[in-house]
Structure 1
Amino acid sequence: MKLDYKQTYPAEPARVVELLRNEDFISDVARHAGATEHRVEVRADATLLSMRMPVPEKLTKFVGETIQLNQTFRFTDPGPDGVAHGTVDVDVPGMPVDVDARGVLRPEGDRTIGHYTGDVKVKIPLIGKKVEAQVEPFIREAFDGIERRAADWLTR
């Protein structure tokens, strides 16, 4: 299933990239997402968020009550044009689910437009497409949560 999300951040791309590399911000995102536990690791090339999340009731028969999600954010510093490129990958250990998104953070006036495109793949014979359709709103909410928390942090 294809992903195509747009977000607006109230700051220039350099500040957005800096935020995505901020351990406290990523922890805040996890807490506001409802993670029952989480761990953040900021590396030179990536920010990793590992969290255990409650699963929406309609998915529990497929995956159980909670699910482990590992998100990896990789963004370059903005180039001379102010644009930053990156990826957001989501891994669900022990499950045949892959989420790979490419991101572009583009300046627009005093704000940034984030555009994320990619794929959600559920590799379960016969029902994979059905599960993808049920997982996609969960992924969309995760992206929306990042946007909401970033708006709060960037306007402090």
Structure 2
Amino acid sequence: MATRIVHELKYDAPLADVAAMLADPAFRNEVCVDQRATKHSVSIEGVQGDPMKVQIAYSQPTDRVPGFAKKFVGSETDIVQSETWPSPEHGDIHVTIPGKPGELVGTAVLTEKDGVTTETVTLDITVRIPLIAGKIEALIGKIFGSAMRAENRTGVAWLAR
């Protein structure tokens, strides 16, 4: 069984501008910094519609992780986020936590209405640890929700420049 999270990120900008932002390595680097990544690397190949492939590898401190989860995540967690964008409006997302029994799989969909673009991120979180999988999935959902809010704040500031 998986836990599903859905986040809507709103940008006061046309879809083309938001898609260009998501394709910019400088933006992706800034998001990593704003998400408190202790180290990170960003790789973007191709262009949207080509398809564009994004890979972000980063490490997050776990100082805010509850005690019950510390023994599973350690003092820092490595995360690898891979995205494939066959079009500017749709991206497939796969997030792994190397060495840990879990993953996030889903999509990012961009829609525009009246010059405002909404990025809807839907992720299914799966953790394969008997008995406490649901608690860990909920925790990961909370952490990724916080990460999405940080990305949204970074994007709003980016587009306002």
**Aligned residue among 123, 127, 130 for 2:132:** 127
**Is 2:61–2:77's contact at 8 Å kept on the other side of the alignment?**
yes
Aligned position for 1:81:
none
- Which of 75, 78, 81 is 1:71 aligned to? 81
The structural deviation recorded for 1:57 is: 3.2
For 2:83 and 2:152, the matched residues in 1 are separated by 14
Counterpart Cα distance in 2 of 1:73 and 1:16? 16
User: Corresponding residue for 2:113?
Assistant: 108
Aligned-partner Cα distance in 2 for 1:2–1:99? 9
CA distance in 1, matches of 2:20, 2:99: 31
**Letter in structure 1 aligned against 2:24:** N
* Unpaired stretches in structure 1, ≥5 consecutive residues: 79-83
How far apart, in 2, do the equivalents of 1:102 and 1:23 lie? Answer: 20
Cα deviation digits, residues 94-125 of structure 1 (max 9, x gap): 11111112121000111101112230111111
Partner of 1:15: 17
Q: Distance in 1 between matches of 2:108 and 2:40?
A: 23
Listed as ranges, the matches of 1:49-64 within 5 Å are: 49-55=56-62, 56-58=64-66, 59-64=69-74
The 1:128–1:104 alpha-carbon spacing in structure 2 relative to 1, beyond 3 Å, is same
After TM superposition, give the deviation of residue 66 of structure 1 in Å.
Answer: 0.2
- Once residues 49 and 106 of structure 1 are traced to their aligned partners in structure 2, the CA distance between those partners, rounded to angstroms, is 23
Contact 1:97/1:122 (<8 A) preserved: yes
The structure 2 residue matched to 1:152, chosen from 149, 154, 157, is 157
Listed one character per residue, the Cα deviations across residues 34-80 of structure 1 (whole Å, up to 9, x for unaligned) are 111111111112111111110123132221000001112333444xx
TM-score (norm 1): 0.90
CA distance in 2, matches of 1:47, 1:121: 22
- Aligned AA (2:44): V
TM-score (norm 2): 0.88
Q: Which runs of 5 or more residues in structure 2 are unaligned?
A: 47-51
Q: Aligned partner of 1:142: which letter? A: A
Partner Cα separation in structure 2 for residue 33 and residue 150 of structure 1: 12
Query: How many pairs align?
Result: 151
What is the alpha-carbon distance in structure 2 between the residues aligned to residue 120 and residue 94 of structure 1? Answer: 16
Letter in 1 for 2:58: M
